[in-house]
Structure 1
Amino acid sequence: MDTVDAVIVGAGHNGLVAANLLADAGWSVRVLEATGEPGGAVRSGEVTAPGYLSDLFSAFYPLGYASPVLRDLALDRHGLSWTHAPTVLTHLLPDGRAATVSRDLERTMASMETFAAGDGERWKQAYGEWSDIADRMLPVILRPFPPVADGLGLARRLGVGGSLRLARRLVLSARELGSELFQGEGARVALAGCALHTDLSPEEAGGGVYGWLLTMLGQQVGWPVPVGGAGQLTAALVRRLRARGGEIVYRAPVSRVLVARGRAMGVRTADGRDWRARRAVIADVPAPALFLDLVGERWLPPRLVEDLAHFRWDGATVKVDWALNRPIPWTTAETSGSGTVHLGADLNGLTRYAGKLATGEVPDDPFLLLGQMTTTDPSRSPAGTESAWAYTHLPHRPVWPAEVIAAHVERIEAVIEKQAPGFRAAIVGRNVFGPGDLERENPSLVGGALGGGTSAAFQQLFLRPVPGLGRADTPVDRLYLGSSSAHPGGGVHGAPGANAARAALARDRLPFYRAGIEGLQRAVYAS
């Protein structure tokens, strides 16, 4: 087998981003994918009924659309185009009231104003504050830790006082942040519902920043989807890579990273073949799988192995896709035009739901994230119909009995039926992915966890995936972690893959880079 400059383990979107960046630098690149198709959690297919296209895992991509990583790849030149629903998001409260975020600022303000006088202006002010720093904030979030250049630029723009206030905002819970910014429940619950796209409760420190980020991005750029399905984002990455000479090998599950004298030399696949790499191995797989299964304890500092015992996954997921013979018959008209709908809980209900998950219980009243895909992209199903999905979380467990999942699907559909009588009668096809199904379809979704590890503050920045450097570098020379288990974590934005590629290029280009990294790692893992 011929040797290439870099071997990428996994053809998820992060692996493909890394491969593209290395190919741009003139490296020869080979991607090894365990399954029969690329994309990882960025894929689509007909799983409910003929003619109905579903996004199998992830769907709406505000971070992907805004990400400087994906933007710089110019994927529009490789067939990717985006489309938007008429409105971005509606949080539908149990009493039928709706808080809606639209790309039209005046429409969003009017919706929030119905909950509390002055909340329309308060929303405008919050969005203005975001707009002033968005061009700096996204690179700070997505670049390797610490983001020195972008961080200093943001600090200069804000000044000392503004920087301290931003730092305080970043550690607030979703409930606390919402209560500081707004008076009414509409804006508060919209923010908290977005925070629950992670595995955090409205009460957890650091959760507010996720709600703030997603709501403000929704206001700024919307929550768009690729025309023709999530798989079109993957297809554009694949086309771009192949145009630069990159290779993808399918059904090639990696069983071992080959290490000699502390350096990654390539990988071995399950069929016994060795695939050599001159310059780098980048792994788009979960951190425990890379370090414990593919590398092995022999090549790792004992303290790192100990820390991995405390690695925490995010919650399990149940996702249901439906083929509907008509649009969802919402009783609240405002909901009909939204690409994404949150429903099943008010603010206190979100806390109760998250509390059930925290104590290992199955919520009786699940909070749902629901996507109306044909509303967003008419190509997803025949005219006059709807391709829709919803997901909710469960506690993370090794196995979920089929009857428990089936009962939870009943609860999910009951939540929708209550707000849209006739929903069940419109179903002409259904597909259920429980936690085990998600992992079977994509081995990186361990136990149905979508985020590559918890979003809690204790596993972010330089603490992700374990206390360390917050960078893609590993204790094995020329081996890099490029999955959502690495900083900055989950979401379809390509940052972990890009950060891994940049680390590999720096290691190859700068003679003293590795010595510096090794010195820092000794300080971290030796004590």
Structure 2
Amino acid sequence: MESMVDAVVVGAGHNGLVAANLLVDAGWDVVVLEGTPHIGGAVRSAEVTAPGYLSDLCSAFYPLTPLSPAIRHLALGDHGLEWTHAPAVLAHLLEDGRAAVLSRDLDATAASLDSFAKGDGDRWRSLYREWLTVVDDLIPAMLTPFPPVRAAARLLTRNSVADTVRLARRFVLPTRLFGDRTFGGDGARVLIAGLALHTDLSPDGSASAGYGWLLGMLGQQVGFPVPVGGAQKITDALASRLLANGGAIETNALVTSVVVGNGTALGVRLADGRAIRARRAVLADVPAPTLYRTLVGAGHLPERLLDDLDLFQWDDATLKVDWALSAPVPWINPDVATAGTVHLGADVDGLTRYSTDITLGRTPHDPFLLVGQMNTSDPGRSPAGTESLWAYTHLPHRDRWDPAEIAAHAERIEDVLERHAPGFRSLVVGRYVAGPPQLEEKNLSLVDGAINGGTAGVHQQLFLRPVPGLGRADTPVDRLYLASASAHPGGGVHGAPGANAARAALARHRPVLGGAYGSLVRSLNRAIYG
């Protein structure tokens, strides 16, 4: 049986839903096909630890979402999305009990950093003043297709060439170098280094300073907000808006191939035997290797692209544990109790050892933890007086994971928590462990637990993401667009890959100029891939 729509979106992650919303706004007939029973991808919530305890199954805090042009345009507040904040944004707790605390209150952040080294508070203030002069143009420059001509021009207009060039250098510096040269104490240094490890970049890796600084400044400005009622509320709002405007969503609708004819995407085939034709576009919210190797196939792709895919690098594997606690975490430092996000387990040198273990394929003996105290932001996540808590850590990639190794590492995670919060284990009333195999089983886009669609390394960013190319959503197959975190600008819940894909599809079909756009893209692809 065959049906026809203007556009098929493969995958109902947040990027797929953003893309579908933008296409529906333009008057297109759109269907989103999701292979699992649930929409949302890595933006979902469920009770997995104990009744009455709500857990975010993957992403949980959203510093980029409020400033994302794609998300702001959709006005999701009209569809039930409401944001809330913890009293403090982030605390990095060191082994000696000291904590560097990031707060939306600039004076509070400065005071915390000054407690490590006098003057670091003023140094942080200086960075933040600089941030405020560039953020309105920097965020659009980061999230729009490469090259970001308009946003870059505005940056140069508002700032000197010298300042803009030095800002660009900061983005490629290692965190250790940036921290050592900028701050006098361990507090600010470890705060930035820990934030960089929200990616897969070590403190000594190029571009880690850029990510650490970016997240630190976002935390200072907008915090790490969470949706009231769980991450699922973002997905629900996107779906509600799409359906209200005439779009369609199908679950348990696994796409097995993209139909290509004469170099053009014509539609998709599903596991149930159906075919859906696409008059105008197919947008794929799936990882790049899945799209090219599985859904399209080598016969429709340039050999150079396939060779480039051999060098595609995933970000690190992930192990996540959720807990239901009978009471809040008994931290050794009470300042940590007010933070939504907590970093545990290492100073800067420890973070380097942890990253080195992963690079060398070793399971870290002393894992660095990124912890979420959800009730600090949203008390309704669990019964009054209790806590819905989670932590994740990174692992090396493996062809096969022994369940006993996953279980042992979950115990190491609890050891770290018990060391920083004596009595933690006695509060556990429920636990849910998701190692790399479990994360991928629930969401096929989280390949071996990689949560960002590919490494954040500089060798796979901008026009090199996911492979050397245009830095845009367009692919070598006409009317086929990559709309996932594997595309520029990468991971995070900001909707930019989906929005960029939708806008590329709309440009391809713009009256008069659409044909010229398609010809230009084909010419550039021939120049790149032969």
Task: Give the TM-score, by structure 1 length.
Answer: 0.99
Q: Is the 8 A contact 2:113 2:187 kept in 1?
A: yes
Structure 2 residue identity aligned to 1:451: N
CA distance in 1, matches of 2:67, 2:164: 23
CA shift at 1:176, angstroms? 1.4
2:425 pairs with 1:424 = yes
Q: Is the 8 A contact 1:126 1:181 kept in 2?
A: no
- Which residue is equivalent to 1:32? 33
CA shift at 1:38, angstroms? 0.5
3-state SS in 2 of match to 1:3 = strand
Structure 1 residue identity aligned to 2:251: Y
CA shift at 1:272, angstroms? 1.4
Cα deviation digits, residues 319-355 of structure 1 (max 9, x gap):
0000000000001011000000000000110001001
Structure 2 residue identity aligned to 1:372: Q
Q: Which runs of 5+ in 2 are unaligned?
A: none
CA distance in 2, matches of 1:398, 1:159: 49
- Which residue is equivalent to 2:139? 138
2:448 pairs with 1:433 = no
Q: Is the 8 A contact 1:472 1:499 kept in 2?
A: yes
3-state SS in 2 of match to 1:512 = helix
Q: Is the 8 A contact 1:311 1:453 kept in 2?
A: yes
Cα deviation digits, residues 94-134 of structure 1 (max 9, x gap):
11110000000000000000010100100100111111100
CA shift at 1:175, angstroms? 1.2
CA distance in 2, matches of 1:380, 1:373: 7
CA shift at 1:511, angstroms? 2.1
Pairing 1:201-280 to 2, within 5 Å after superposition: 201-280=202-281
Structure 2 residue identity aligned to 1:524: I
Q: Is the 8 A contact 1:7 1:32 kept in 2?
A: yes
2:460 pairs with 1:456 = no
**Greater Cα shift, 147-156 or 333-342:** 147-156
Q: Is the 8 A contact 2:7 2:31 kept in 1?
A: yes
- Which residue is equivalent to 1:391? 392
Pairing 1:338-417 to 2, within 5 Å after superposition: 338-417=339-418
Cα deviation digits, residues 234-268 of structure 1 (max 9, x gap):
00000000011000011011001011111101000
CA distance in 2, matches of 1:181, 1:32: 48
2:512 pairs with 1:511 = no
Q: Is the 8 A contact 2:199 2:456 kept in 1?
A: yes
Structure 2 residue identity aligned to 1:521: N
CA distance in 1, matches of 2:27, 2:113: 51
Cα deviation digits, residues 259-318 of structure 1 (max 9, x gap):
111110100001111011100000000000000100011111100000001111011000
3-state SS in 1 of match to 2:329 = coil
CA shift at 1:180, angstroms? 2.6
CA distance in 2, matches of 1:492, 1:180: 31
CA distance in 1, matches of 2:303, 2:253: 30
3-state SS in 2 of match to 1:391 = strand
CA distance in 2, matches of 1:469, 1:239: 33
- Identity, % of aligned positions: 63
CA shift at 1:41, angstroms? 0.2
CA shift at 1:79, angstroms? 0.3
Q: Is the 8 A contact 1:264 1:476 kept in 2?
A: yes
Cα deviation digits, residues 183-205 of structure 1 (max 9, x gap):
11101110010000001100011
CA distance in 2, matches of 1:151, 1:480: 24
Aligned length: 526
CA distance in 1, matches of 2:273, 2:410: 41
- Which residue is equivalent to 2:97? 96
**Greater Cα shift, 516-525 or 275-284:** 516-525
Structure 1 residue identity aligned to 2:522: E
CA distance in 2, matches of 1:284, 1:396: 22
- Which residue is equivalent to 2:169? 168
Q: Is the 8 A contact 2:89 2:341 kept in 1?
A: yes
The Cα RMSD (Å) is: 0.7
CA distance in 2, matches of 1:408, 1:65: 34
CA distance in 2, matches of 1:205, 1:12: 29
Structure 2 residue identity aligned to 1:470: G
CA distance in 2, matches of 1:379, 1:124: 34
CA distance in 2, matches of 1:486, 1:42: 18
CA shift at 1:181, angstroms? 2.1
3-state SS in 1 of match to 2:438 = helix
Q: Is the 8 A contact 2:194 2:212 kept in 1?
A: yes
Q: Is the 8 A contact 2:3 2:275 kept in 1?
A: no
CA distance in 2, matches of 1:217, 1:163: 19
CA distance in 1, matches of 2:84, 2:455: 30
CA shift at 1:170, angstroms? 1.2
CA distance in 1, matches of 2:219, 2:168: 22
- Which residue is equivalent to 1:472? 473
Structure 2 residue identity aligned to 1:78: H
3-state SS in 2 of match to 1:117 = coil
- In the TM superposition, structure 1's runs of 4+ consecutive aligned residues that sit over 2 Å from their partners are none
CA distance in 1, matches of 2:312, 2:274: 31
Q: Is the 8 A contact 1:101 1:218 kept in 2?
A: yes
Q: Is the 8 A contact 1:256 1:293 kept in 2?
A: yes
CA shift at 1:158, angstroms? 1.6
3-state SS in 2 of match to 1:336 = helix
Structure 2 residue identity aligned to 1:391: Y
